[in-house]
């Protein structure tokens, strides 16, 4: 077979007429000599399968890449993975804070709630005078005492959780002391009294009627309440009411 013959390809018209076309005419459109219809000179797709020259696997004509060899190459030479994105500073601080929290979900929840409460009150107290802060601080103590009773009835009260409540209460007062001292406020007697007696009240409400704390709670509740009330009343109501300074909470 000559080179000219091997370079030719066959084209069949719709009418059944067959032609042997030169390779240089591929892609052109001519008229069929038999039916006079347009005839596009193009090669027919070969049905002969193709084989991989490495592993002799059958190749797909639409995607002539050996699947077997490609899989082996990926296993032996995996694609380099992009470097992991380094976490930001805030993410690291948040993760370290979460890791410091206890594993108990109940304890974690209360720690987060108390932290939000302390931050919220610390922001709001900036515009309060001494009497206003003492009023809200008193209701905060009452709320924590009621919360101790509620948590104890739910059998979820632990010494660690009680410590969280006390720290939240004392932290609020310490922030007020720092803010007041920085702005030249004075007469913190009432605030010191509530800071001193508040934790004892929480202890009484937390362990009243339970084991060894029963006698302590029954005998000391009235005296502690009267002491707290008289201390705050004498230092705040008597000392600042007439002058209008409201300085027991800092003013």
For residue 29, the SS3 value is strand
pLDDT at 94 over 50: yes
pLDDT tens for each residue of 179-190: 877 877 777 788
Every domain of the chain and the residues it spans? 7-65, 102-236
pLDDT tens for each residue of 5-45: 557 778 888 888 888 888 788 778 888 888 888 888 777 66
Confidence of residue 238 (pLDDT cuts 50, 70, 90): very low
What's the confidence (pLDDT) of residue 24? Answer: 82
What share of the chain has pLDDT > 90, as a percent?
0
pTM over 0.85: no
Q: Are 248 and 130 in contact (CB under 8 A)?
A: yes
CA angle 179/181/182 to nearest 5° reads: 65
Confidence of residue 90 (pLDDT cuts 50, 70, 90): confident
Mean pLDDT of the chain: 71
Higher pLDDT, 237 or 155: 155
For residue 235, the SS3 value is helix
Higher pLDDT, 73 or 123: 123
Q: Exposure of 100 by Cβ count < 10 A (0-12 exposed, 13-18 middle, 19+ buried)?
A: exposed
Higher pLDDT, 213 or 241: 213
Across 91-100, 120-129, 188-197, 207-216, least confident range: 207-216
What share of the chain has pLDDT > 70, as a percent?
65
The pLDDT of 215-240, averaged and rounded, is 37
Which has the closest alpha carbon to 134: 39, 41, 221, 251? 251
For residue 223, the SS3 value is helix
């Amino acid at each position: 077979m000559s080179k000219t013959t091997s370079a030719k390809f066959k084209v069949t018209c719709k009418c059944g007429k067959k032609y042997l076309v030169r390779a240089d005419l591929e892609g052109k459109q001519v008229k069929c000599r038999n039916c006079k219809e347009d005839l596009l000179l193009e090669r027919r797709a070969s049905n002969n399968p193709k084989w991989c020259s490495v592993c002799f696997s059958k190749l797909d004509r639409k995607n002539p890449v050996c699947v077997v060899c490609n899989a082996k190459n990926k296993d032996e030479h995996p694609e380099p993975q992009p470097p992991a994105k380094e976490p930001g500073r805030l993410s690291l601080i948040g993760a370290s804070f979460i890791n410091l929290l206890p594993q108990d979900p109940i304890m974690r929840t209360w720690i987060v709630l108390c932290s939000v409460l302390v931050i919220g009150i610390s922001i709001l107290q900036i515009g309060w005078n001494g009497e206003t802060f003492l009023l809200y601080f008193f209701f905060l103590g009452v709320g924590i005492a009621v919360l101790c009773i509620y948590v104890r009835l739910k059998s979820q009260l632990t010494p660690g959780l009680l410590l969280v409540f006390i720290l939240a209460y004392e932290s609020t007062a310490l922030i007020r002391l720092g803010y007041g001292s920085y702005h030249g406020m004075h007469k913190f007697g009432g605030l010191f009294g509530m800071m001193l007696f508040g934790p004892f009240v929480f202890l009484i409400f937390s362990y009243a009627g339970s084991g060894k704390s029963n006698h302590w709670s029954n005998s000391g509740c009235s005296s502690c309440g009267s002491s707290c009330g008289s201390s705050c009343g004498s230092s705040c109501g008597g000392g600042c009411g007439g002058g209008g300074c409201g300085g027991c909470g800092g003013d």
